[in-house]
Amino acid sequence: MATFDYQVIIVGSGAGGAMAAYTLTKQGYKVLMLEAGRDYNPKTETPMFKTNAQAPLMGSGNVDKDFGFYDATVDGGWTVPGEPYTTGEGSDFLWWRSRMLGGRTNHWGRYALRFSPHDFKGFTRDGLGADWPFEYEELAPWYDKTEELVGICGTNTGLDDMPDSAEGILQPPPKPRIPELLVSAAAKKLGIATAPMHRAVLTRPKDDRQACFYATPCGHGCSIGAAFQTTTSLIPMAKATGLLTVITNAMAKEVNVDEHGKVNAITYIDKMTKQSHSLEAKVIILAASACESARILLNSKSEHHPNGLANSSGHVGKNIMDSTGVGYGALIPALAGRPKYNEDGHTANHLFIPWWGHQLHKEKLLDFPRGYHFEIGSGFRAPGAGVSGNLDGYGQPLKNIAKQAYGSYVSLSLRGEMLPNEHCYMEIDQNVKDQWGIPVVKFHWQWSEHELKQVEHGLKTARRILETMGASFTKPLPKAEDAILKGGQIIHEVGSTRMGDSSKNSVTNQWGQTWDCKNVFVMDAGVFASNPHKNCTLTIMTLAMRNATWLASQLDKGAL
Amino acid sequence: MADKKNKYSSSKPYQSSLTRRGALKWLGAISTAAAFPALIGCQSSSKKLNTSKGHWPNLSLSPVSANGYGKDPNLIIAPKNVWPRILTTEQLTLVAVLADIIVPREGNVPSASEVKVPDVVDEWVSAPYSRQQADKEYILNILTWLDDESILRFNALFIDVSPAKQLMIVDDIAYNKADLSAEFAKPMLAFARIRRLVLAAFFCSPEGTKDIGYLGNVPIAGDYPGPTDEAIQHLNQVLDNLGLSL
């Protein structure tokens, strides 16, 4: 790297890292990016228009490809060979990793909802968790800029849990499908509104990315760039400035300091040669994903930083939050045998159910503190290994039942806000190293009553909506503690290096700059002070754009 | 012995679409593994008949030890024949007969075996992944059970008795009913596994996908058109019936 006189090193090429690289290179700074996985090119590697019959095992998932054969994730998933993680006794936690350029943005759901003004002030509202160190109004213009750059389809609804974007920012959403309209009508009867989901999917062309042509699931990746991923947008755009160099297969190990404890380098393992390299660094941005960045900090112990780097507060690895998750669904008899048409659309829900209970919370009418939303699963989907469900009989009568039932199943997936608690954290497992010799993460996890009561409420509500649609149930609702998905399973883990306004109870200031090391920033979801139920990626990118802009101003001033 | 109406039987086995190249590849794998018989395949414990009342084969199956396709397979040209197939010609023929009982030909719509569903079943039960291995346990046992039961009732292998006799057995295990006789409890559960698999493999095939009415996976120029007028009219009827409105 002697020939490339970079000013900033970024670890990670996903939502946060790529946005930081884009922002800095656009302002003329030279950036070196380390990515732990291999290079990846969606234009040539995305399986567009493939059918499940063309894949092994009808495309179904397994330990090699957890979300199915065609899922864009490369060298990742719930397990990464040679890179284990451990869990404490009684703790169930799943950690999704992607080892590829672009990280998890290659397969994410593209749900891109803004957090609301009240989301930034949870502690002020109910005394739980932590406030963010700024107001929504501070972030709103950055949301606009990010949405404009990323390309979000959706509408301004005026609902209190969906802040409006500036005029002209959002692209038109696709029309809703039949089962979604039926959910909408049923929810309306219960006083609950539905709205077009905001998704990072172009319905109008942008830059050199095409508009969606409404085929091929976004989770497979998108060769035409309609579904946002950093590998077809921010990374090539940053590279086009001539100021970004990317080193792939570079597994960051630790951040190094000089004899005064000042950060001056980063060490990574070249996975191809298994050699360790140290790169001098003036400024380091960690954007390796919330728990991987915290792992790097905790593994960076030195005389001046005995508890790990930037950890004088003891909060690195604490305050981890995922989204709560549970699904509940039913066959809707009235939808059986309905007229066929192409329901692929942009391949995720066109309508969803935003959280409707903000006012109820204000009036203290709910026995759980934080909200949730429902995503709607339905439609005439491409047949796969689970197409028929469990049916009785054989022959033509059986086939007719299967064909009648096709497209009549509706599920509601709850995604809710959890609160941080002292039982949900990570530490370094001193007894286990990965194949690169790096000590691994040990997770601890326990849901609290807040999450379980919320899930109970969600299950009851989902059942009422489905019943209003004409579904009937013979079994009682499952218990919340049995139905709630595992920690980490929604892949929204945040908070491990949270930001705040005091170095005593947070790891970074509002700019993602660590309190202890002025030249180390965190720009992934680790900095989240809370985890609103609205999916993290849009806010990761918005914060990275805002905070990298601030970082640039500090470099301009010579403050770093 | 076999009825001449039988499409498949011992004398008319199912022809797998396994390519010569694939077969040679596996032959190599199998001869290597032959030195370590415990590591591969799933030989039924014995050829001895198990035909007592309430019989269940309880085959002792060794786990499949082949490799999967890994964490970074080629998604554009999907790997074929990654693991050796374990079903014998006899088993494949029995799967073909069952598959066509589950999904028979219907006018111009082909039957399950005509779209090579048995090959998908073979790929599935041969795969080294946990879900498939669990299914394999059920499916290989039900295949053996069907022959045992057929011999008990008709003194011939399942594939060699008449379609009517085959259905007499299938009728006993195809329904999860309250008065299900205890002797059919396990066969019923195992039959459900292969039924689900056959239906999926059929509907995943191009012909089955057309038959179920999936109309997607085509690029659309311009905006997504949304529901057809016919679909909207149907929805309005549904809303009326349920007392709902948009």
pLDDT digits (tens, 9 = 90+) for A98-118: 999 999 999 999 999 999 999
Amino acid A388: pLDDT: 84
| Amino acid occupying residue A53 | A
Kindly give the residue spans of alpha helices, DSSP state H, lying in A205-357. Answer: 234-240, 290-298
**Cβ contacts of B184 on chain A, cutoff 8 Å:** none
The reply to whether residue A392 touches residue B129, judged by beta carbons under 8 angstroms, is: no
Instruction: Identify any residues that bridge with A372 across adjacent strands, giving them in sequence order.
Output: A416
Q: Write the residue in A174, A341, A382 that is nearest to B231 by C-beta.
A: A341
Q: Write the residue in B71, B206, B215 that is nearest to A341 by C-beta.
A: B215
Is B143 or B3 the better-scoring residue by pLDDT?
A: B143
Please report the DSSP string for B55-103 in residue order: -------PPP------SS--SSS-----S-----HHHHHHHHHHHHHHS
**Cβ contacts of B230 on chain A, cutoff 8 Å:** 339, 341
Rounded distance between C-alpha atoms, residue A381 and residue A171, angstroms: 25
A343 interfacial to chain B (CB closer than 8 Å): yes
Weakest mean pLDDT among A229-233, B28-32, B220-224: B28-32
Asked if the model's pLDDT at residue B205 lies above 50, the reply is yes
The reply to whether residue A181 touches residue B246, judged by beta carbons under 8 angstroms, is: yes
List, as ranges, residues 60-79 from A with C-beta within 8 Å of B: 60, 62-65, 69-70, 74-77
Amino acid B2: pLDDT: 57
The reply to whether residue B246 touches residue A81, judged by beta carbons under 8 angstroms, is: no
**Cβ contacts of B234 on chain A, cutoff 8 Å:** 178, 338-339
Q: Helix or strand or coil: residue A537?
A: helix
Q: Write the residue in B196, B223, B227 that is nearest to A388 by C-beta.
A: B196
The reply to whether residue A381 touches residue B230, judged by beta carbons under 8 angstroms, is: no
Q: Write the residue in A56, A215, A334 that is nearest to B123 by C-beta.
A: A56
Asked if the model's pLDDT at residue B79 lies above 90, the reply is yes
Name the minimum distance, in Å, from the CA of A341 to any CA of chain B: 6
Amino acid A526: pLDDT: 98
Question: Is the CB of residue A453 less than 8 Å from the CB of residue A368?
Answer: yes
| Amino acid occupying residue A552 | A
Amino acid A389: pLDDT: 80
Rounded distance between C-alpha atoms, residue A393 and residue A400, angstroms: 11
Amino acid B5: pLDDT: 80
**Which residue of A46, A54, A57 to mutate against B (max B Cβ within 10 Å)?**
A57
**Cβ contacts of B175 on chain A, cutoff 8 Å:** 392-393
What residue has token string 């590998």?
A231
Name the minimum distance, in Å, from the CA of A357 to any CA of chain B: 21
**Cβ contacts of B106 on chain A, cutoff 8 Å:** 396, 399
Amino acid B63: pLDDT: 87
B149-159: average pLDDT: 97
Amino acid A10: pLDDT: 98
Question: Is the CB of residue A42 less than 8 Å from the CB of residue A72?
Answer: yes
Amino acid B24: pLDDT: 56
Rounded distance between C-alpha atoms, residue A349 and residue B185, angstroms: 40
Amino acid A346: pLDDT: 98
Structure tokens at B113: 């075996």
Question: Is the CB of residue A180 less than 8 Å from the CB of residue B239?
Answer: no
Q: Return phi, psi of residue A184, to 5°.
A: -60, -45
| Amino acid occupying residue A141 | P
Q: How confident is the model at residue B48 (pLDDT cuts 50, 70, 90)?
A: low
**Cβ contacts of A69 on chain B, cutoff 8 Å:** 69, 73, 75, 78
* First vs last C-alpha separation in chain B: 63
Rounded distance between C-alpha atoms, residue A202 and residue A210, angstroms: 7
**Which residue of B212, B229, B230 to mutate against A (max A Cβ within 10 Å)?**
B212
**Which residue of A183, A349, A387 to mutate against B (max B Cβ within 10 Å)?**
A387
The reply to whether residue B219 touches residue A402, judged by beta carbons under 8 angstroms, is: no
Name the minimum distance, in Å, from the CA of B59 to any CA of chain A: 24
Amino acid B3: pLDDT: 60
Amino acid B41: pLDDT: 38
Amino acid A56: pLDDT: 98
Amino acid B32: pLDDT: 45
Question: Is the CB of residue A309 less than 8 Å from the CB of residue B182?
Answer: no
| Amino acid occupying residue B158 | F
The reply to whether residue A57 touches residue B124, judged by beta carbons under 8 angstroms, is: yes
The reply to whether residue B199 touches residue A398, judged by beta carbons under 8 angstroms, is: yes
Note the pLDDT tens digit of each residue in B169-180: 999 999 999 999
Q: Write the residue in A51, A55, A335 that is nearest to B217 by C-beta.
A: A51
Q: What share of chain A is helix, strand, coil (3-state, %, to 5)?
A: 25, 20, 55
**Cβ contacts of A386 on chain B, cutoff 8 Å:** 200
Judge residue B81's burial from the number of C-beta atoms within 10 Å of its C-beta, 0-12 exposed, 13-18 middle, 19 or more buried: middle
A398 interfacial to chain B (CB closer than 8 Å): yes
The closest of A87, A128, A99, A130 to A426, measured between CA atoms, is A87
Amino acid B22: pLDDT: 56
Q: Which residues contact A441 (CB under 8 A, 6 or more apart)?
A: A85, A86, A95, A291, A294, A295, A426, A427, A428, A429
Q: How confident is the model at residue B46 (pLDDT cuts 50, 70, 90)?
A: very low
A174 interfacial to chain B (CB closer than 8 Å): yes
The reply to whether residue A335 touches residue B212, judged by beta carbons under 8 angstroms, is: no
Name the minimum distance, in Å, from the CA of A181 to any CA of chain B: 7
Rounded distance between C-alpha atoms, residue A242 and residue A28, angstroms: 10
A216 interfacial to chain B (CB closer than 8 Å): yes
pLDDT along chain A (560 residues), means of 10: 82 98 98 98 98 98 98 98 97 97 98 98 97 98 98 97 98 98 98 98 97 98 98 98 98 98 98 97 97 98 97 98 98 98 98 97 96 98 91 97 97 98 98 98 98 98 98 97 98 98 98 98 98 97 98 95
Asked if the model's pLDDT at residue B19 lies above 70, the reply is no
The DSSP output letter for A54 is: G
Amino acid A507: pLDDT: 98
How many A-B residue pairs are in contact by the CB < 8 A criterion? 229
List, as ranges, residues 353-382 from A with C-beta within 8 Å of B: 380-382
**Cβ contacts of B226 on chain A, cutoff 8 Å:** 174-177
Amino acid B38: pLDDT: 39
Q: Write the residue in A57, A172, A380 that is nearest to B132 by C-beta.
A: A57
Name the minimum distance, in Å, from the CA of B173 to any CA of chain A: 9
Amino acid A428: pLDDT: 98
* Summary mean pLDDT of chain B: 89
Q: Write the residue in A69, A386, A406 that is nearest to B212 by C-beta.
A: A406
